[in-house]
Every structure is written in structure tokens, then in C-alpha cells.
Amino acid sequence: MSNLEQPSLPVSSVRLRYQLAVFTLLRTVFNTSFRMIYPFLPAISRGLGVGVETLTLGITLRSALGLFSPIIGSVADLRGRRFAMLAATSLFTVSMLMVFVWPTYIALIVAMVLTGATKTIFEPAMYAYVGDRVDYRQRGLVVGLLEFGWSGAFLVGIPFSGWLMARAGWSAPFPFLALMGAGLLMILWRVLPHDRPHPTKRSSLRAGLSTVLHSRAALAGLAIGLLTSLSNEVVNIIYGVWMDKAFALEVASLGAASAVIGVSELLGEGLVAALSDRLGKKRSLGVGLVLYLLACLALPALGGTLEGALVGLFLFYLTFEFVIVCTIPLMTELAPKARATLLAANGAGHSLGRMLGSLIGPALFVSGLWTNALVAVVLNLVALVLLWAFIHEDAPHKAG
């Protein structure tokens, strides 16, 4: 049986719920490693004895790897969803162990790149697995629940990492993350069914890319992902430095402040789970983009005090998370015959956006936070135009 022939499962299925819980916990661990660099950028650079700009280069390199997402992520179409997810989890565990054993700048940069590779492999496979098995009418709910693994990093993982760093140095979270990765790898091995593609229906990378490139809706979706990620990263890359300079927060306090972002993202994901299937994926995304560009303006307007800055960050990440999560169920049905390849290409678009944002964000910040915010607004306006011009209606309500 091929991946595309897997029967749909209702969200009420106990087996599916257990798999979703494991996926969510895994993504919380992955994203803690991926995201903790941002708020702790000054503290980690001081611990390593390198400049912030030098460490930012590692973030850019990690994002650049994502440009190869269509090649790396398509392994889930070629070898199966299970193989891809197990390989990604193994890679993550090894990368965390490396920093624990060798806590140096080089090891950290390599681990950052490998963490990017982990997400590039795991997430397209996971969402393709969901697309294979969950009816489109319930896919917004499931994607919203899975994205709790993104907000969980800022809500739980990063505050805990800040607590560890304050007591044992910048590298303290890495052995804990390695242990979590190893334990979840064993659980994943047991809960995922074998799903090797049927030999006569195995997709080729060229065929998958051709399907994507010949769909205007798919290309518009990829552009929207790139633009929204770029708009987020031009602010994301400098918010830790901004908070450090403006309010002189210590590492533990900065980790606790990051929980505000986690709460906002959790709410954004919950809203997608509750609303996107009812309102329609396209309409939900359009509303989200409008609210997001308004939040980009609110951040510098409110940022004169610590309380205002936290409110601004809350709104900024709430609306961005709603936008990003809304795009995923929409993307799962824009090219069903190349589902993992399209999702991997979407990851490449996000990576390109993050890479460009990490390069230009610090340069924009020289002129102040308002410059970063206004650039983000313009990018989101372009994304809104693409949505309404090229994605004309929701995909049919059917199983993947």
C-alpha cells in the first residue's frame, strides 16, 4: 500500500491521538534547541567569547541549509514517512550530544546546522503523514494541535533552558535535550507503522518538483511562506538584543519573558485548531495576515516600556503563529501527488526568508525598531495580494 492509499483516520482515533502526542513532544524538544539561540544570543556569545554578529552567522548558515529542503525533505516521498522521522530524530540526538561532549563555537554551529536539517526532514514527513491519514475537513484542527510543539518551546523549553544556563553555563541544556531525543526516538520507533511506498508508485524528486512548479496556487503558497518568514525574522533576529539593551534583562529573566511569546503562540495555534476548518483555510489566512501586519506596527509603538514591549511581542507572535499555522493545512492539499515535496519546498521558502531576515534584520535595526517593523508590514501586504490573486478557493474537502 502506498502512502497515498493509507486510510483516513478520525481525530477521535486513540492510535492517532497517541501518535500526535508523540509528534508534539518531539517538536517541542526540537524547537527548544532551534529557538533558544534567539533570546539567549547575547549570553551564549559571551559564554563562547565571540561577538553577537559571529553567532548570528551560524543562524544564517542554518537557514541556508533549508534551501535544500525540497531535496532533503522529499525523502519522505521516496523512502516513507516513518524512515524520515526516525532518521531526523537520530540526527538531532547526535547533534545535541556533540555540544555536550565538545562545548565550543564550532560544535555549536555544527549542531545548529544539524538541528535545521532535523526540522527539514522531520516536519515535511510528519505533515505528509497527517495529510495521508486525516480528512481535509479535520486537518486544520490536527495541524493546530501539532503546532503546540512550536509554542511549547517558548512556553516550557526556553524558560527551563534559561534556568539551566543561569546555574551551569550556556551549554547546560544540551545534555537534557540529547536525553529527551534518545528517549523519544525509541517511542517513535514503536508507534509509527511501516509505510514503504509501493514500488510502482514511488515518486521521483523530479516528478514532485514538476508538479509543484506547474501549479500557480502552490507557487503562490510558497511565496507567501517566504514573505511571512522574512517579515518575522527581521524582528525575531534582533528582539533578544533589543530587550537586552533596552531593559537589561538577565538570562533567567529573559527566559521567563520568552514564556510570554510561548503563551501567544499557544493561543494562535489554538485559534487555528478552532477556526480554520470552520471559516475556511484561505479566509482564515487572509484575516491572519491583516492582523499580523497591524501587530508589526504595534510592537515599536508599545515598546517604550517593558510591559508595553511584552504586550507588543505577545501580539506579534500571536498573529504570526496564526498565519504560519493557517498555511500548513492549505499547503497539504495544493499538490496531493507531491505532498511531502511541496511541504519540503515550503520549508525551503521559510528557510530562505529566515536567512534573508537574519542578514538584513541587524542592518535595519541600526535605524531603530520602527524600520524593522515597517519592512515587515510591506512584506505582509505583498503576501496578502498573492493569497487573493492566486489561491482562489479552499481545496476540495476530501481525504489526502
Distant-in-sequence, close-in-space partners of 399: CB < 8 Å, separation ≥ 6: 8, 134, 135, 136
Provide the pLDDT for residue 251.
67
Please provide residue 290's backbone torsions phi and psi, each rounded to the nearest 5 degrees.
Answer: -65, -45
- Spatial separation of the C-alpha atoms in residues 19 and 13, rounded to whole Å: 10
- Spatial separation of the C-alpha atoms in residues 109 and 56, rounded to whole Å: 10
Return the exposure string of 81-93: e unless at least 16 CB atoms fall within 10 Å of the residue's CB, then b.
bbbbbbbbbebbb
Provide the pLDDT for residue 198.
44
Which residue, 400, 343, 328, 331, is CA-closest to 72? Answer: 343
Which residue, 190, 28, 26, 30, is CA-closest to 118? Answer: 30
**Contact criterion met (CB below 8 Å) for 22 and 114:** no
**Contact criterion met (CB below 8 Å) for 218 and 212:** yes
**Contact criterion met (CB below 8 Å) for 61 and 54:** no
- Spatial separation of the C-alpha atoms in residues 356 and 281, rounded to whole Å: 27
10-residue stretch averages of pLDDT, the chain, 400 residues long: 47 78 95 89 87 80 79 76 94 96 93 91 89 82 87 88 91 96 95 67 64 87 95 88 77 71 88 89 94 95 89 93 90 78 84 88 91 96 95 52
**Contact criterion met (CB below 8 Å) for 395 and 93:** no
Q: Which grid coordinates belong to 201? A: 508508485
Collapsing DSSP to helix, strand or coil, 216 comes out as: helix
Cell numbers 511501516 correspond to: 194
Break the chain into its structural domains and give their ranges: 12-390
Provide the pLDDT for residue 202.
46
**Contact criterion met (CB below 8 Å) for 165 and 40:** yes
**Contact criterion met (CB below 8 Å) for 95 and 150:** no
- Spatial separation of the C-alpha atoms in residues 61 and 151, rounded to whole Å: 24
CATH number assigned to the domain covering 12-390:
1.20.1250.20
CA angle (192 as vertex; 187, 193 as ends), nearest 5:
145
Provide the pLDDT for residue 2.
40
Q: Which grid coordinates belong to 76? A: 519522505
Helices (H), the chain: 14-35, 41-48, 52-65, 69-72, 75-79, 81-101, 105-133, 136-146, 148-152, 158-168, 173-191, 205-213, 216-247, 251-279, 281-302, 306-331, 339-365, 369-390
**Contact criterion met (CB below 8 Å) for 44 and 91:** no
Which residue, 167, 162, 142, is CA-closest to 277? Answer: 142
Q: Which grid coordinates belong to 117? A: 536539517
**Contact criterion met (CB below 8 Å) for 371 and 234:** no
Which residue, 120, 151, 39, is CA-closest to 350? Answer: 120
Residues in the chain: 400
Q: What is the DSSP letter of 68?
A: G
